[in-house]
Amino acid sequence: MECLSTADAATCTACRLSQNRTRVVLPDGPRGGLLAIGEAPGRQEDAQGVGFVGIAGRNLDAALADCGLSRDQWARSNIVRCRPPDNRKPRADEVSACAGWLDQTLQAWRPRVILAVGQSAAERLMPAWQGSYLDTVARLLADDGVPPVYGGVPVVPMPHTSPLAWNRRRPDGTPIRDIGMQAVRHAVALAQSAT
Ligand code: SF4
């Protein structure tokens, strides 16, 4: 896939997700710092053409603000740039079709750390992990500091920030939000330690 310009990106028809989208949601935010990568645009993102503006995005916004980063201090992208119908998970061929755009984003943004928001993003960025996603996130955080890398950039995985995921507890009673906040703190620390 050839990725050339913003105009190309805004009119991409490389996969079936182009058929139902309202707008392509392009990456935005400052370069060279923390880049949050989610699964896909949702309804509000699709309508506005802006990433992470729905409830899940606002939850992430609040989590990062709690750790000292306002919205203008972190960047946003997704593993696919167009909204899947009915918010279904992106299919493998759609993720593959959008891979060139994601790699172009990473080359242009040159983040110091990637925050992988939710399992779909983590599957794309750290495909070697196996087993339970939340177990993997907790283990990586407990290991404290040797994150997987994608394209030479450290990847910190975290739970999805949709209310359904963010407000639940693990079987042992641990709030998933607490694991998410631990991941966000770790990612912010990595971003700032590299300055
Ligand atoms: S999801 Fe990605 S590859 Fe598919 S049409 Fe949208 S921009 Fe193009």
Enumerate the β-bridge partners of residue 175. Answer: 169
The verdict on the CB of residue 191 being under 6 Å from ligand 1 is no
The verdict on the CB of residue 79 being under 6 Å from ligand 1 is no
pLDDT in tens, the chain (195 residues): 444 566 688 899 999 999 999 999 999 999 999 999 999 999 999 999 999 999 999 999 999 999 999 999 999 999 999 999 999 999 999 999 999 999 999 999 999 999 999 999 999 998 777 788 988 888 888 866 567 899 999 999 999 999 989 999 999 999 999 999 999 999 999 999 855
The verdict on the CB of residue 24 being under 6 Å from ligand 1 is yes
The torsion defined by the Cα of 121, 122, 124 and 125, in degrees rounded to 10, comes to: 110
The verdict on the CB of residue 11 being under 6 Å from ligand 1 is no
Rounded to two decimals, what is the model's pTM? 0.93
Enumerate the β-bridge partners of residue 153. Answer: 150
Residue nearest to atom 3 of ligand 1 (CA): 98
Pairwise CA distance, residues 185 & 182, whole Å: 5
The verdict on the CB of residue 60 being under 6 Å from ligand 1 is no
How much distance in Å is there from the Cα of 82 to the middle of ligand 1?
Answer: 6
Q: What are phi and psi of 120, to 5 degrees?
A: -65, -40
The verdict on the CB of residue 101 being under 6 Å from ligand 1 is yes
Pairwise CA distance, residues 134 & 131, whole Å: 9
The verdict on the CB of residue 15 being under 6 Å from ligand 1 is yes
How much distance in Å is there from the Cα of 97 to the middle of ligand 1?
Answer: 7
Distance of alpha carbon 194 from the chain centroid = 20
Enumerate the β-bridge partners of residue 18. Answer: none
Superfamily the domain 6-193 falls into:
Uracil-DNA glycosylase-like domain (3.40.470.10)
Burial of 76 (0-12, 13-18, 19+ CB in 10 A): buried
Sign, Cα dihedral of 182, 112, 62, 85: negative
Closest atom of ligand 1 to CA, residue 97: 3
Break the chain into its structural domains and give their ranges.
6-193
Pairwise CA distance, residues 54 & 107, whole Å: 27
Distances (CA, A) of 150 to 43, 87, 122, 126, 186: 28, 26, 10, 7, 17
The verdict on the CB of residue 35 being under 6 Å from ligand 1 is no
